Structure 1
Amino acid sequence: MSRQTLIVIAIASALAGLTACGNAPQDTQKASASASASVAKGEAKTGPEKLIIASEDVLNLQNNALASGPVVTGSIQPERKADLRAEVSTVVLQVLKENGEAVKRGDVIVRLDETSIRDNLNSANDAARNAALALDQVERNLQRLKTLRASGMTSMQALDDAEVRRNAAQSEVSAAKARAVQAQQQLQRTIVRAPFDGVVSERKVSAGDTALAGKELVKVVDPSSMRFVGRVSADKIGLVKIGQAVSFRINGYANQEFRGKVTRLDPAANDVTRQVEVLVAFADSKQPRVSGLYAEGNIESETVSALMLPEAAIVKSGDKSFAWRVQGKTLNKVELALGSRDVRTGNYEVRRGVVAGDVIMRNPNSSLKDGQLVEMANTGATKTALANTTLAMKD
């Protein structure tokens, strides 16, 4: 083959290679364009799905009563309580009840040593019997002198002296009987009994202790008579009236809200704190059985109408609050301006962002999208959804 022929073949091969290289990018571009179209189509299909909601999932925003008033703080205290003290000076013999034990009226709680007191009672009884015998003898002597005086055999002075002795003996009998009764009462006071049905709240003595007269032995309270003993600032006392409702919470019962009403106002403010004591009775039988617990609440001195939302319907994001509102067939996220919280219900006052009549999602979750389509569920839609679910499970 000549040199000229080889040159022609080399040029032809180079041209063929260039042609092949030029066609490859075009095919790649077509493939890329096709893939992009497929992705876009898939993304359009996997956008926010239509949200089907039931009537239980939403609430219609309405005006409700918002109660407000002075803050009241204090503690839970029993109305019926008794500090049982020793009425005689003696030694504690036995303590029959411990703290927290229930007692019935008349139950023996503490026994005191009665030895010396019983001796005093026996002596008083003996003295009373002797005084009675002495009176009987003086009385017989007086009757004898009266008989002798009638026959003129004794003087008037002797008769008068006999009457004086009779009167003195009568006085001694009365005094001896009084001492015996007093000794009997002292003996009875060596047994300390429960004054009413209740619970022993504080035991102050043990067996062997010396109990002087006036020493505190035990405390008994009636747990069914608990009440809220609160205090209100003096500058707010003008807003408080007897019979007003009170809502409050008690330490140890954080998830419970208690209701009551004002039953009494102290006529004088505290000399140190300048607060006024307020007594609040529980509105129902739902009350704690433990005294001394801290409590805080509000006296509902005034009530206004306001838009109220439950806490579960409010979404917090930093310092901002939002709610999900259903408008027509669209779900919108709206920013709220919240006011005060109703301590009775836990709902929040809404000052801006929604209006009365708006439909709000009751318990929104993080999967909701602003602008998402919504549809209220009905019987037909529910059946269709169930049928589709069944077919999908079969497939």
Structure 2
Amino acid sequence: MSKTPLRPHPLLAAMLGLLLASASPAAEPALKSFVAGQASALQGARFEGRVEAVRQAVLSAQVPGAIVQLQVKAGDRVRAGQLLLQIDARSAEQSAGASEAQAAAARAGLELAEREFARQQQLFAKGFISQAALDQAEAQFKSTRAQLNAQIAQAAAARTVSGQYLVRSPYDGIVSEVPVMLGDMAMPGRPLLTVYDPTALRVTAALPQSSAAALPADPAWQIEIPGLAGGASIQPTRSQLLPVVDAGSMTQELRLDLPARLAGLVPGQFARVSARVAARSTASNAGNASSALIVPASALVRRAELDALYVLDAKGRPILRQVRLGTRRGEQVEVLSGLSAGESVVAEPQLAARLSK
């Protein structure tokens, strides 16, 4: 008599499969790594800057007086020669009128002296007066003419002073700041308005002296302005590195002119500046002090006062190795010692720490 083989219940078979699956070791996740290579000291370096106007004028008062007209506000577009602000000029206008009246009186006196001198010349020609009388009439005529010239100059000066009570725009631009109000007292040297030309903007950045010394002859600069429409990098039209080092910060000022009429740009905006420098081979960089090993700051492991990196050995296992760091350039850090070009560095130190236990 044949025996029927026993078959396990389907539910028991499924539970047994789950237990066996949980008992089997899980596959280890693959470590992401990169090859350390020698690069230019400027590669990956970013410098913070700001947008500023090439032409910006702070208009101040030249004469004292109360502000009686304020015709613009911050954000207004103005034209060259447009009246922006007026200071009470009644006393100046009265002085200018008095000077012009004195000039008119001197002009009438000159006409009288000129006719008198002409009559004296005729009398002298007929022998009716002496040479002394003729000389006296000539001197009177010249004195009156000199007085007229002085009065005309004084009237012109008074009119110039009265014109200083009117503040006009020096060029087409935008009013960025109006720190005064109607009725305020304007004093000589006190800022009244700030006007800038929106068609001529630039980015200025402070470069460390070491980075400025490592610049190539004609670097290709890139400008990034967060929040700018489009988000694309901007190529400057002209670059200038000022040949002066700030004694306090040991930096040099870099000026990058922006293309004209970029929408959304205003002075004071934050900007990032970087130089497009291609990576160099190890052989070409041998003995070059301006090249270094650059690694991402996210790959570093800091324990107490030690800095380290996880480096893959010949069998692909992560080994923690102490390194000595140099200058940090944005999101990248220079490695001075403890790492050689061509070695594989783990990009995920937290995962490498778990796997190395």
Partner of 1:159: 134
Give the drift of 1:252. 4.7
Q: How far apart in 1 are the matches of 2:51 and 2:235?
A: 12
Query: TM-score with structure 1 length normalisation?
Result: 0.59
Structure 1, residues 1-38: CA drift from partner, whole Å, max 9, x if none? xxxxxxxxxxxxxxxxxxxxxx9xx77x324389849x
Pairing partner for 2:197 from 222, 226, 230: 222
Contact 2:200 2:260 in 1 (8 A): no
Pairing partner for 1:232 from 207, 213, 235: 207
Partner of 2:244: 268
Equivalent runs, 1:302-321 vs 2, <5 Å: 302-304=277-279
Pairing partner for 2:157 from 174, 182, 188: 182
Change (3 A) 1:171 1:80: same
Runs of 4+ in 1 over 6 A off after TM superposition: 316-321, 340-343
1:142 and 2:121 correspond: no
* Unaligned stretches of 5+ residues in structure 1: 1-22, 41-64, 307-315, 322-334, 344-350, 354-395
SS at the partner of 2:248? coil
Q: How far apart in 1 are the matches of 2:7 and 2:13?
A: 10
Partner of 2:187: 212
Equivalent runs, 1:73-92 vs 2, <5 Å: 73-92=48-67
Structure 1, residues 292-314: CA drift from partner, whole Å, max 9, x if none? 123232223x31279xxxxxxxx
Partner of 1:294: 270
Give the partner amino acid of 2:139: V
Structure 1, residues 46-68: CA drift from partner, whole Å, max 9, x if none? xxxxxxxxxxxxxxxxxxx9982
Q: How far apart in 1 are the matches of 2:220 and 2:68?
A: 49
Change (3 A) 1:257 1:305: farther
* Unaligned stretches of 5+ residues in structure 2: 18-38, 282-297, 302-308, 311-317, 319-327, 332-341, 345-357
Partner of 2:81: 106
Contact 1:242 1:264 in 2 (8 A): no
Contact 1:258 1:282 in 2 (8 A): no
Give the partner amino acid of 2:151: A
Contact 2:201 2:260 in 1 (8 A): no
Q: How far apart in 2 are the matches of 1:221 and 1:245?
A: 28
Q: How far apart in 2 are the matches of 1:284 and 1:223?
A: 8
SS at the partner of 1:224? coil
Contact 1:266 1:276 in 2 (8 A): yes
* Larger deviation, residues 250-259 vs 140-149: 250-259
Q: How far apart in 1 are the matches of 2:11 and 2:192?
A: 95
Pairing partner for 1:32 from 6, 9, 20: 9
* Larger deviation, residues 190-199 vs 225-234: 190-199
Pairing partner for 1:277 from 253, 265, 280: 253
Change (3 A) 1:283 1:30: same
Structure 1, residues 180-215: CA drift from partner, whole Å, max 9, x if none? 222222222222121222111111221212212332
SS at the partner of 1:214? coil
SS at the partner of 1:110? strand
Give the partner amino acid of 2:199: S
Change (3 A) 1:142 1:341: closer
Give the drift of 1:352. 7.7
Structure 1, residues 354-380: CA drift from partner, whole Å, max 9, x if none? xxxxxxxxxxxxxxxxxxxxxxxxxxx
Pairing partner for 1:116 from 74, 88, 91: 91
Contact 1:76 1:228 in 2 (8 A): yes
Q: How far apart in 1 are the matches of 2:329 and 2:49?
A: 21
Q: How far apart in 2 are the matches of 1:131 and 1:215?
A: 38
Change (3 A) 1:113 1:266: same
Partner of 2:34: none
Bigger Rg, structure 1 or 2: 1
SS at the partner of 2:9? helix
Hey, which of these two has a bigger chunk of helix by percent?
A: 1
Aligned positions, number: 275
Give the drift of 1:79. 0.6
Give the drift of 1:254. 10
